[in-house]
């Protein structure tokens, strides 16, 4: 089944970069070579999105790192899906663990954001994942199913092609700890089975579920080789030339 799902690699730059360093990233991305069978999307800080879109090879998508649940209004410091689209970008990351755990965004709010972004034709990388204490208490499934339910409730049946789910165990993000490929595959497989039950078999079979959490050039091939892992959402490593190797993980 994995063969019918196009491999997806996202690069989340988080709150990093300036024009000089971004020019360097654009240079190695444009030089590639990037596997044509992999969909690649990078996510610069909002202030640099238009700059990146203007210089980056059109084959590579550009995503916002977050956006709000309405078109416009008195929401100081935020941006909307409409603005992302207006500057020629077509993706947004929603529900990243840093938005959930540093900024206190709830499952409900993330669901509402997903619904609005999709309604405006912006594609969504929806993030879920458990904290270390939740994993150690045996609550991984309970947590990711709860987070997924808030997303499922806000996606229409014909919108699933515009959604990528990123499973990011919080304890593995930027810590150097990675879920082993077997641990990650187990969660991905259970998530896919859950989607088959809650949404439908065809959606479960076509939905791309990618892994995030200390993905590197060293571990990307083994992760990408798992049946239910359809790519990766990469943090720190997406700022370095090694990112090209991660994009090419299935070659």
First to last CA, the chain: 18
List C-alpha distances in Å: 128 to 56, 73, 195: 28, 28, 14
Tell me how many degrees the CA angle 13-100-183 measures, rounded to the nearest 5: 75
Residue indicated by tokens 């609550």: 139
Give the pair of three-digit tokens for residue 168: 């990011």
Over its C-alpha atoms, the chain yields an Rg (Å, rounded) of 17
Helix axes 140-152, 107-119, angle to 10 degrees: 40
Evaluate whether 200 touches 152 at the Cβ level (below 8 Å): no
DSSP classification of residue 3: G
Evaluate whether 41 touches 12 at the Cβ level (below 8 Å): no
Which residues are known catalytic residues? Answer: 96, 168
Q: Which is nearest to 15 in space by CA: 55, 59, 51, 65?
A: 65
List C-alpha distances in Å: 171 to 129, 140, 212: 9, 12, 11
Give the pair of three-digit tokens for residue 69: 């649940």
Q: What residues contact residue 75 under an 8 Å CB cut-off, 6+ apart? A: 68
């Amino acid at each position: 089944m994995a063969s019918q799902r196009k491999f997806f690699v996202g690069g989340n730059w988080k709150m990093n970069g300036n024009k000089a360093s971004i020019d360097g990233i654009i240079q190695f991305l444009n030089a590639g070579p990037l596997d044509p069978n992999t969909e690649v999307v990078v996510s610069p800080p909002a202030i640099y999105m238009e700059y990146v879109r203007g210089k980056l090879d059109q084959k590579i998508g550009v995503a916002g790192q977050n956006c709000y649940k309405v078109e416009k209004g008195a929401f100081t410091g935020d941006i909307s899906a409409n603005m992302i689209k207006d500057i020629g970008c077509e993706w947004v990351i929603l529900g990243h663990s840093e938005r959930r755990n540093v900024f206190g965004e709830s499952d409900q709010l993330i669901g509402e954001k997903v619904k609005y972004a999709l309604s405006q034709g912006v594609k969504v990388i929806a993030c879920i994942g458990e904290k270390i204490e939740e994993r150690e208490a045996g609550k991984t499934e309970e947590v990711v199913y709860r987070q997924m339910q808030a997303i499922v409730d806000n996606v229409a049946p014909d919108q699933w092609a515009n959604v990528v789910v990123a499973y990011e165990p919080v304890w593995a993000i930027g810590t150097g700890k990675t879920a082993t490929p077997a641990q990650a595959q187990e969660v991905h497989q259970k998530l896919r089975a859950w989607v088959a039950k809650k949404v439908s078999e065809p959606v479960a079979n076509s939905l791309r579920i990618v892994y995030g959490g200390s993905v590197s050039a060293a571990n990307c091939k083994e992760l990408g080789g798992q049946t239910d892992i359809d790519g990766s959402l990469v943090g720190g490593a997406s700022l370095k030339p090694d990112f090209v190797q991660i994009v090419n993980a299935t070659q």
